[in-house]
């Protein structure tokens, strides 16, 4: 069976990722207004009421803005760590206690047909996580909002068939951006901030060496990056290692406000 994945939105202005395996559909994050999430789902032909739940990574607005609305409207359970629930507080309005699910990083569970693993990420939030989703032998991992790509994260996601990894900013564009305060720059560049294009490219090389064949660059900054630049940095790093994007590895850039197409991941047939 195939796994399907689609970045509905990805970037510092809002995140929502769609995944399907068998009869189970779920979202990772709901960080755009409910109406925008509906629009994106409609575009890929998915009815919101057929979704089984929303896995939340952390409490920053760009990951939860529409979570309350869609949970109430469609009766969707929301999954988050205890720390993230504390961080959310009353930011998403009143949530029926039956829809509030608490997860523990490292404690895996099934949501319908999809196996869900979560792992801690270094970010300035209460208890942020990344996810690895399993459909049979296939797996898809997402890791955004991380200051550094740690050995722990690598171990948790190595071998994934598809990885969506943060390629947030170009450090020079960020440093020279007059619109950002020194404090904000320090936060983004720090160990609990966001992953730069170069750090992303280095991490991708490790993951590709570990067998990953599909990569999506995500959570791009709107002001300190461009899709073309993020792509170029990763492709250049790959070329240096003799990896051919489009042949050895499929590489895509998730756009901030444009819903991507659905990717279908299949088990590779033995050669
Ligand atoms: Zn974010
Ligand atoms: Zn964040």
Residue with tokens 């490292």: 106
> Of the bound ligands, which one is closest to the alpha carbon of residue 31?
1
242 CA → ligand 1 middle, Å: 32
User: How distant, in Å, are the alpha carbons of 108, 164, 205, 211, 221 from that of 248?
Assistant: 31, 17, 12, 10, 27
pLDDT digits (tens, 9 = 90+) for 168-217: 999 999 999 999 999 999 999 999 999 999 999 999 999 999 999 999 99
pLDDT at 218: 97
Cα–Cα dist 120/268, whole Å: 29
Total Cβ atoms within 10 A of residue 33: 14
Report CA(254)–ligand 1 centroid distance (Å).
14
Percentage of the chain with pLDDT > 90?
94
- Give whole-number Cα distances, 33 to 30, 39, 50, 140, 244, in Å: 8, 10, 19, 25, 38
pLDDT digits over 206-234, tens only?
999 999 999 999 999 999 999 999 999 99
193: CA distance to ligand 2 center in Å?
A: 8
pTM of the model: 0.96
Q: How many A from CA of 62 to the centre of ligand 1? A: 5
Compute the average pLDDT of residues 62-66. Answer: 98
**Ligand nearest to C-alpha 12:** 1
Answer with the residue of higher pLDDT: 12 or 118.
118
| CB crowding 199-219: b at 16 or more within 10 Å, else e | bbbebbbebbeeebebbbbbb
């Amino acid at each position: 069976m195939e796994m399907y994945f689609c970045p509905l939105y990805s970037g510092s202005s809002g995140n929502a990722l769609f995944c399907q395996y068998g009869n189970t559909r779920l979202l990772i994050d709901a960080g755009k207004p409910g109406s925008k999430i509906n629009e994106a789902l409609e575009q890929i032909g998915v009815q919101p009421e057929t979704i089984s739940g929303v896995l939340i990574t952390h409490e920053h607005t760009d990951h939860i803005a529409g979570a309350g609305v869609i949970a109430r409207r469609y009766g969707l359970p929301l999954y988050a760590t205890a720390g993230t629930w504390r961080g959310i507080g009353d930011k998403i309005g009143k949530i029926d206690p039956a829809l509030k699910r608490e997860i523990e990083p490292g404690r895996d569970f099934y949501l319908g047909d999809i196996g869900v693993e979560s792992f801690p990420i270094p970010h300035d939030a209460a208890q942020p996580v990344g996810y690895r989703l399993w459909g049979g032998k296939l797996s898809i991992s997402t890791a955004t909002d991380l200051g550094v790509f740690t050995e722990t994260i690598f171990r948790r996601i190595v071998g994934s068939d598809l990885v969506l990894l943060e390629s947030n900013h170009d450090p020079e564009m960020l440093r020279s951006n007059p619109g950002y305060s020194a404090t904000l720059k320090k936060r983004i560049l720090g160990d609990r901030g966001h992953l730069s294009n170069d750090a992303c490219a280095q991490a991708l090389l490790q993951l590709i060496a570990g067998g990953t064949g599909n990569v999506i660059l995500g959570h791009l900054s709107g002001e300190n990056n461009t899709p073309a630049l993020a792509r170029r940095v990763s492709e250049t790093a790959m070329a240096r290692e003799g990896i051919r994007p489009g042949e050895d590895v499929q590489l895509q850039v998730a756009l901030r406000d444009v819903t991507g197409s659905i990717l279908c991941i299949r088990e590779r047939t033995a050669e």
